[in-house]
Amino acid sequence: MAQNMYDNEAFFKEYIQLPRQVKGLDGTPEWPDLQSMFPRRLEGKNVADLGCGFGWVSRYCIEQGAAKVLAVDISGKMLSKARTFPSNGITYVQGDLESFNLDFDAYDFIFSSLTLHYISNLARLLSEIKFALKPGGSFVFSIEHPIFSAPRNAKFIKDSEGHSVWPLDGYFDEGKRTTNWLAEGVVKEHHTVSSWITKLLSARFTLWQIKEWCPSEQQVKENPMWADEQQRPSFLLIRVVKDVPTLEQF
Ligand SMILES: C[S@@+](CC[C@H](N)C(=O)[O-])C[C@H]1O[C@@H](n2cnc3c(N)ncnc32)[C@H](O)[C@@H]1O
């Protein structure tokens, strides 16, 4: 059974105050890049949102015309909050992605934001996603970038000239990282970039797009506290496809 930190009272209290949860996609700085990796048309499509949280992207897909969205999360608190928003076309299901089963050949598009770095049996989940996608279907996901997740003490330090430096260590030491982000003892999984790509290729996906997110000059101008985010990538965004998409699916 996976850790369910988002149902921890103290963690959840902090989490719901993050700008990306208060403002939704408008408060999610990597959203424009992530959204640009989506299939061009979602009208009539069948979508799954894995680790849906408050369901921001599930609702976006419905607004774009998706026929239905299966939105899965392990946290009852996250799902309760998601259900307070209009949920026409969305089926929320509480489930653990470590063991969750998806229907065969059922989805045109599968999405997951900032969730896969919590999963220990990635090979199982990736092959489940491949199994559930229709031929030509896409899987788009974001994770904490491995340069961000690797260090034992993941905090910027100042060098002798006062520049912010990210103390990268442990990069090749894959496995669990226990952090004190929002609450003590949050467990995440670290893998190198090549390991992520190898796992996707081993599941027989075709790599379609990959982006290392960094805020634009305009975003830093509007949010000066993001300046340090230009020093190292914080998120890795990936689109893979099952077989080659047709023009309509692209
Ligand atoms: C950082 S939040 C992201 C939520 C949402 N995707 C978003 O971007 O706003 C990570 C989500 O993954 C969920 N999660 C973590 N481990 C999970 C697991 N094993 N099975 C299902 N959901 C999980 C958490 O409950 C949480 O809602």
Residue 182: per-residue pLDDT: 86
* CA 231 to chain centroid: 21
For residue 151, name the pLDDT band (cuts at 50, 70, 90): very high
| Residue 98 beta carbon below 6 angstroms from any ligand 1 atom | yes
Residue 247: per-residue pLDDT: 78
Residue whose CB lies within 8 A of the most ligand 1 atoms, among 73, 93, 113, 125, for a mutation test? 73
Q: Of 11-15, 63-67, 104-108, where does mean pLDDT reach its minimum? A: 11-15
Cα dihedral sign, 34-37-40-43: negative
For residue 19, name the pLDDT band (cuts at 50, 70, 90): confident
- List the residue whose alpha carbon is closest to atom 10 of ligand 1: 115
pTM of the predicted structure, to 2 decimals: 0.96
Residue 1: per-residue pLDDT: 77
Return d(Cα 98, Cα 124) in angstroms, integer: 8
Ligand 1 atom closest to the CA of 100, numbered from 1 = 20
Does 125 have pLDDT greater than 90? yes
pLDDT digits (tens, 9 = 90+) for 93-102: 999 999 999 9
Does 225 have pLDDT greater than 80? yes
**Mean pLDDT (the chain, rounded):** 95
Residue 113: per-residue pLDDT: 98
Q: How far is CA 148 from CA 50, 98, 142, 151, 174, in A?
A: 22, 23, 13, 7, 13
Residue 181: per-residue pLDDT: 83
Return d(Cα 152, Cα 190) in angstroms, integer: 11
- List the residue whose alpha carbon is closest to atom 4 of ligand 1: 53
| Residue 52 beta carbon below 6 angstroms from any ligand 1 atom | yes
| Residue 15 beta carbon below 6 angstroms from any ligand 1 atom | no
| Residue 2 beta carbon below 6 angstroms from any ligand 1 atom | yes
The β-bridge partners of 111 are 49, 140
Residue 245: per-residue pLDDT: 77
Residue 172: per-residue pLDDT: 98
Residue 44: per-residue pLDDT: 98
For residue 3, name the pLDDT band (cuts at 50, 70, 90): very high
Q: How far, in Å, from the CA of 215 to the mean position of ligand 1?
A: 23
Q: What is the mean pLDDT of residues 198-210?
A: 97
Q: How far, in Å, from the CA of 234 to the mean position of ligand 1?
A: 17
Residue 99: per-residue pLDDT: 97
Residue 52: per-residue pLDDT: 98
Return d(Cα 220, Cα 202) in angstroms, integer: 38
- List the residue whose alpha carbon is closest to atom 25 of ligand 1: 75
- List the residue whose alpha carbon is closest to atom 27 of ligand 1: 53
Helix, strand and coil in the chain, % to nearest 5: 30, 25, 45
pLDDT digits (tens, 9 = 90+) for 23-81: 999 999 999 999 999 999 999 999 999 999 999 999 999 999 999 999 999 999 999 99
| Residue 53 beta carbon below 6 angstroms from any ligand 1 atom | yes
